[in-house]
Amino acid sequence: MSAQNFYITTAISYVNGLPHLGHAYEAILTDVMARFQRLDGQNVMFLTGTDEHGEKVHKTAEKNGMSAQEFADLNAAGFQKMAGTLNISNDDFIRTTEPRHYEAARAIWQKLQDKGDIYLDKYEGWYSVREEGYFTEDELTKDPETGHMMTPNGTEAEWVEEPSYFFKLSEYTDKLLAFYDDHPEFIQPVARRNEIISFVKGGLRDLSVSRDKKRLSWGIPVPGDDDHVMYVWLDALTNYITAAGYPDVDCERFQSFWPADYHVIGKDIIRFHAVYWPAFLMSAGIDLPRTIFAHGFINVQGVKMSKSLGNVLSPDGLVETYGLDAIRYLLMREIPHGQDGNFSHDHAVQRINADLANGLGNLSQRTLSMIYKNCDAILPSGEGMNNEDKALLNKVYSDLQGPMREHFRAFEFHKGLEVIMSASRMADAYIDANAPWKLKKDDPERMKVVLYTLAEIIRCLAISMLPVTPEAAGKILDQLDIKSDERYLVHVGTDHALKAGVPIEKPEGVFPRIVEKEEERQKAAS
Ligand code: MSP
């Protein structure tokens, strides 16, 4: 099978603050898919970045006594650092303040205008700066205490009146509904699809797509009218095509990677991605992305993260407490496809210790140590396998090539990981049943076959874990002397099975156990 091009993006984060667990979750989720697709032989382009214009960034910069650009530079560096800390394998990092993006955003505006979809009028209505979004009165509720108008997401909306350019979104209602109908995979998961279809069926109003420069100057100037800057969402959404080379639609990158396979975003911004973005693209005559995948939100100990509650978890702190691969695993294992998740310290420790330290880590450490000690540090031969050994190996190969692969392809990492862990538990049961430490005296030839079978299972499990725990899985494969061009999903199978006679290094544990002092545990849980 020849490699297919695969383009995947995260949302680009606002630079009004530093990254937190929610941003980390989205980055890791997308990274796991990007790494999985590479593992499965595809040619991947993975984009992440920062959304730097708009009123929210402008106002927060002012509060911090900085220019918007200085403030954006500072926080964009924080997001770039997070990508490094979390071992995110992005191929590009886009900032919407870069010249390449100004060019693309102004070019798409021009296309919409040439199509006759943009007109100048006056906007009178509600706007939430926190969400950078427009709301109709019937979507809002009045807070009885403050009298403020609040959006369904609980942010405050303010009344705005200003001259504004509009995009004829209302003319796209039927086209969008027809598109959703023809492309059932476009919005995932299905609950989000239903939500969007019912919103669009309610009828769409034209969308204000510029801000008056007198009120907000931090944005990309509207082509041909310096009194306006572009609405931050039209600017921001365009990042996905900027990075593919737009406006040069004939360039190799655009031809190879657009339309994107996945835009991975949080459920709070589905409307912008599944309604506005496809309408802009239809107007500009550009193909639509294949899938908008909306993940859920992460709460901490059952409560929404917020600065005022002081429960905002930083990616740096999490990595320090649990270890990078452990936190990556935990988030992917615990949060089901598209649903909200909860982060709790006790549960994290339990899961990491059970699945990684005592599970896969212990399996590989025990096996490799026995080979190191009992087989002169040389991988024994698997010749003479009995039917039970063969059946176990075949079951592992087919579980990983079948259900695990299918789950990963569908963004069901929690289920894919369960397949891997269940294979690891089967291998544990096999060790207990065959007791290779006893065979050492009684039947050393049989011991070798058992250890070979286990090492071969570990090789396949480690390959499968590469997208989620790249460093630890890579170390296991190093210990087995597996070369980098033999670390693909296609190598999970008998044709690429371990060769006897390979020397192995003294094994070192790759998934440390989290041991806590009682007082630390209580502090973290409180
Ligand atoms: N700038 C916009 C996105 C523009 S995309 C063209 C934005 N930025 S954000 O910084 O507020 O959010 C970035 C991403 O992080 C979004 O997909 C958002 O849903 C996600 N998350 C923010 N908090 C989150 C949680 N607590 N949990 C999970 N994801 C969350 O929106």
User: Mean pLDDT for each 10-residue chunk of the chain (526 residues)?
Assistant: 92 96 97 98 98 96 97 98 98 98 98 98 95 92 95 93 97 98 98 97 96 94 97 98 98 98 97 98 98 96 83 93 97 93 93 96 97 96 96 98 98 98 98 95 96 98 98 96 97 96 92 77 57
**Nearest ligand 1 atom, CA 237:** 6
**291/351 same-domain check:** no
422: domain CATH number is: 1.10.730.10
Residue 525 lies in a domain: no
Task: For a ligand 1 pocket test, name from 9, 10, 14 the mutation site with the most ligand atoms within 8 angstroms of its C-beta.
Answer: 14
Ligand 1 centroid – CA 476 distance (Å): 34
* Overall domain count for the chain: 2
pLDDT for 162: 95
Range of the domain at 371: 347-496
Bridge pairing between strands 225-230 and 221-222 = antiparallel
Dihedral sign for Cα atoms in the order 397, 398, 402, 408: negative
Residue 524 lies in a domain: no
User: Of 460, 446, 462, whose CA–CA distance to 498 is shortest?
Assistant: 460
Q: Where are the beta strands (DSSP E) in 148-202?
A: 149-150, 156-167, 187-188
Which residue's CA is the nearest one to ligand 1's atom 15?
Answer: 23
Give the alpha-carbon dihedral of 353, 357, 362, 363, to 10 degrees. Answer: 90
**Is residue 300 within 6 Å of ligand 1 at its C-beta?**
no
246: CB partners within 8 A, 6+ apart: 104, 107, 108, 238, 254, 258, 286
pLDDT for 522: 59
523: CB partners within 8 A, 6+ apart: none
**70/158 same-domain check:** yes
pLDDT for 11: 98
Which residue's CA is the nearest one to ligand 1's atom 12?
Answer: 13
Compute the 3-state secondary structure of the chain and give helix, strand, coil in percent, each to the nearest 5: 50, 15, 30
Distances (CA, A) of 347 to 295, 371, 420: 21, 34, 20
Ligand 1 centroid – CA 150 distance (Å): 19
**354/260 same-domain check:** no
Residue with structure tokens 């096999």?
430
pTM for this predicted structure: 0.96
What tokens appear for 266 in the block? Answer: 């949080």
**19/110 same-domain check:** yes
Residue 332 lies in a domain: no
